[in-house]
Amino acid sequence: MSRLLYVEGTVDRTCTQSHITYSFHIPQPTETIRIHFSYTPKLLEDQEQARGIIEESMCKYGYDEPGHSSDLWKKYIPLQNLLTLSVDDPVRHRGNAHRPEMQQEHWLGSSAASPGFLAGDHPAGMWRITVSLHAVVTETLAYQIHVLGEEAAYA
Amino acid sequence: MLKWIPAELHTHTLHSDGKHTLEELVQSAVDLGLECIAMTDHNTQSALADQEGVQRQFGLPIISGMEWTTFYGHMLTLGVDRFIDWRVLGPDDIHEGIRQVHEQGGIAGIAHPFRIGSPICTGCFWEYTIQDWHEVDYIEVWSTLMPSIKRDSQRAFAMWTDLLNQGYRITAVSGRDWHVSKPDDSLPAVTYLGVHDEAEEREGLEGRAVEAIRHGSVSVTMGPLLTMWAQIKGREHRYHIGECIELTVEDPLSVTVQLNVEARAAHYNLKPQNLRLLLTSSQGICSEIQIPAQTGEYTLSLQDPLGKGWIRAELYGCMEDCVMMIAFTNPIYMA
């Protein structure tokens, strides 16, 4: 098993609605690509901050009709960070894991792949992993991506 | 021969954040009496790897689709099986995305345009700039379970009506946004697709279903099937939902509305009652009658139809202990 990419990063709320893409080289065709992806924290625990963000959102999207109870914001707690991960090989898009979990394991094999991804050949060349930051609600957020390549057992 | 196919157009599997496998989702659809679904996972189509096998196993056509789950809106694409990169498009670039969907032979629809947006439901509220509504193929005007009583849906329905009044011909559909199935789920809506079915074949139904949405041959309901056709008085030709009547003289139109409470009758409960059946247009209500909650056919006259632009049927009554809009058709247009 070979380590193809390891990155750690920290973002803050200004990174909401942005993408971070890592381009990296895979020197030879690989049987299986394994990706460990994690980020923390998941939830915004500070209730006053959550209330401010939720009330702003309710106002922006027309959800703060007069007469609503002042506790309506609680319907939307807890606010969550949401990062998703997508993969492009040198030739084609290989899929996206649009899921809420803060720890995710993905793999791409030649005849099967974990949910969200397409099985197939793993050509040598420049690959891309993109983290889409749909929501960063906490003041800071730390993430890690670890990509491993695995040759066929008989190789 | 026009055949009405009950469909669900907005679904998810565990390939994104749904709880079903594709097989489990399709089994649930069959259990609900549906005859077609669109597979619209968030930003992936990997659930469709065995699309043909699952279609064969269950005898249920699956439309290839995806929900573009972006930062500025959720857009449903149907009839597309090649990845189109949503990640490179900014809030003013959606027409480039729609162009690529059309180039692939697919259609593009706005999902739940008024659901609360980020960061509560990320990208759920539609914030892309639309420069030309002619390019939008459809709008999901009813969303989630029991949609017709939801405020988000009522806002979307009002937006659709406003766009019709401005002269745009956009199809309205329902979408459950189906992530999970539970025994105590409240009532979902159903989108009936009017497809031409000369050969009575299931083969190729996905393509015809997409065409039906593109052309507005669609009726949406909480239960019973509501359809209509129009005729210029004294002539034989019938104009169906989604079609356009070229009016050259001020002949009155007769509109025949059919209520069918037998299709999928096991999957909803419509108690005996008087229902309100309306024909509406940009001028408001054109015709209103009370009808019983049973299968029947009703002919309504529309005097002086010129300039009305569109007409649709709407049905109101009580279901699940709520007084609500029970069903509506897409328009027949008049030019």
The whole-angstrom separation of Cα B68 and Cα A117 is 16
* The pLDDT of residue A71: 87
* The pLDDT of residue B251: 75
pLDDT exceeding 70 applies to what percent of chain B?
97
CB contact under 8 A, A134 and B85: no
Average pLDDT over residues B12-41: 98
Comparing CB atoms, the residue among A95, A97, A134 nearest residue B71 is: A134
Q: Are strands B284-292 and B244-245 parallel, antiparallel or unpaired?
A: unpaired
Residue of A11, A63, A137 to mutate, interface with B, max B Cβ within 10 Å:
A63
Bigger pLDDT: B199 or B71?
B71
**Please, are residues B51 and B15 in contact by the beta-carbon 8 Å criterion?**
no
Which single residue is written with the structure tokens 């969303």? B143
- Tally DSSP H helices, then E strands, for chain B: 5, 19
CB contact under 8 A, A96 and B116: no
Chain A positions in Cβ-Cβ contact with residue B122 (cut-off 8 Å)? 82, 134-135
Whether chain A has a CB inside 8 Å of the CB on B41: the answer is: yes
Q: Nearest to residue B308, comparing CAs of B239, B259, B252, B257?
A: B252
Q: Find out whether the peptide bond into A41 is cis, omega within 30 degrees of 0.
A: yes
CB contact under 8 A, A53 and B119: yes
Q: At B100, list the tokens.
A: 């690529």
The three-state DSSP-derived secondary structure of B101-122 is: HHHCCCEEEECCCCCCCCCCCC
Whether chain A has a CB inside 8 Å of the CB on B239: the answer is: no
Q: At B45, list the tokens.
A: 């189509």
**Please, are residues B213 and B173 in contact by the beta-carbon 8 Å criterion?**
yes
**Please, are residues B241 and B331 in contact by the beta-carbon 8 Å criterion?**
yes
* The pLDDT of residue B320: 97
Alpha-carbon torsion B191, B196, B199, B201, what sign? Answer: negative
pLDDT digits (tens, 9 = 90+) for A43-72: 999 999 999 999 999 999 999 876 667 889
**Category of B159 on φ-ψ map: left (φ > 0), alpha (ψ -120 to 50) or beta:** alpha
Q: At A114, list the tokens.
A: 């974990």
Whether chain A has a CB inside 8 Å of the CB on B16: the answer is: yes
The whole-angstrom separation of Cα A147 and Cα A86 is 13
The whole-angstrom separation of Cα B192 and Cα B7 is 6
Q: Which residues pair with B285 in a beta bridge?
A: B280
Q: What distance in Å separates residue A99's CA from the closest CA in chain B?
A: 5
* The pLDDT of residue A155: 43
pLDDT digits (tens, 9 = 90+) for B49-68: 999 999 999 999 999 999 99
Residue B304, pLDDT above cutoff 80: no
Whether chain A has a CB inside 8 Å of the CB on B122: the answer is: yes
Q: At B149, list the tokens.
A: 């009583």
- ipTM rounded to 2 decimals: 0.95
DSSP string, B140-199: EEEESSSGGG-HHHHHHHHHHHHHHHTT---EEEEE--B----TT--PPPEEEEEEE-TT
Cα of B261 vs its chain's centroid, Å: 19
The whole-angstrom separation of Cα B102 and Cα B96 is 10
Q: What distance in Å separates residue A85's CA from the closest CA in chain B?
A: 10
pLDDT confidence of B221, banded at 50, 70, 90? very high
Measure Cα distances from B262 to B110, B225, B265, B293 in Å.
31, 8, 5, 11
H or E stretch at B54: helix B51-58
Q: What distance in Å separates residue B120's CA from the closest CA in chain A?
A: 6
pLDDT digits (tens, 9 = 90+) for B138-182: 999 999 999 999 999 999 999 999 999 999 999 999 999 999 999
The whole-angstrom separation of Cα B313 and Cα B129 is 30
Q: Are strands B332-334 and B244-245 parallel, antiparallel or unpaired?
A: parallel
Q: DSSP character for B306?
A: T
Q: Nearest to residue A125, comparing CAs of A27, A3, A30?
A: A27
Centre a 10 Å sphere on the Cβ of residue B52 and count the other Cβ atoms it contains.
Answer: 10
The whole-angstrom separation of Cα B246 and Cα A66 is 46
Residue B21, pLDDT above cutoff 80: yes
What mean pLDDT value characterizes chain B?
Answer: 95
Residue A154, pLDDT above cutoff 60: no
pLDDT digits (tens, 9 = 90+) for B77-102: 999 989 999 999 999 999 999 999 99
Residue of A12, A13, A94, A98 to mutate, interface with B, max B Cβ within 10 Å:
A98
Helix ranges, A1-155 (H): 47-60
Length of chain B as a residue count: 335
The whole-angstrom separation of Cα B156 and Cα B137 is 15
Q: At A13, list the tokens.
A: 């709320």
Q: Nearest to residue B213, comparing CAs of B109, B74, B141, B333?
A: B109
pLDDT confidence of A153, banded at 50, 70, 90? low
Judged by DSSP in three states, A47 sits in helix
Q: Are strands B138-143 and B171-175 parallel, antiparallel or unpaired?
A: parallel
Residue B207, pLDDT above cutoff 60: yes
Centre a 10 Å sphere on the Cβ of residue B134 and count the other Cβ atoms it contains.
Answer: 11
Residue B200, pLDDT above cutoff 90: no
The whole-angstrom separation of Cα A93 and Cα A117 is 9
Residue B203, pLDDT above cutoff 80: no
pLDDT digits (tens, 9 = 90+) for B229-254: 999 988 899 999 999 998 876 778 89
How many interchain CB pairs under 8 A, A with B?
A: 81
* The pLDDT of residue A67: 63
* The pLDDT of residue B302: 82
pLDDT digits (tens, 9 = 90+) for B122-132: 999 999 999 99
Q: Catalogue the E-assigned strands of B272-309.
A: 274-281, 284-292, 296-302
Q: Which residues contact B220 (CB under 8 A, 6 or more apart)?
A: B141, B142, B172, B173, B174, B189, B190, B191, B192, B327, B328, B329, B330
Q: At A60, list the tokens.
A: 């922006």
pLDDT digits (tens, 9 = 90+) for A105-122: 999 999 999 999 999 999
Q: DSSP character for A61?
A: T
Residue B202, pLDDT above cutoff 90: no
The whole-angstrom separation of Cα B241 and Cα B67 is 26
* The pLDDT of residue B196: 86
Comparing CB atoms, the residue among B46, B119, B155 nearest residue A79 is: B119
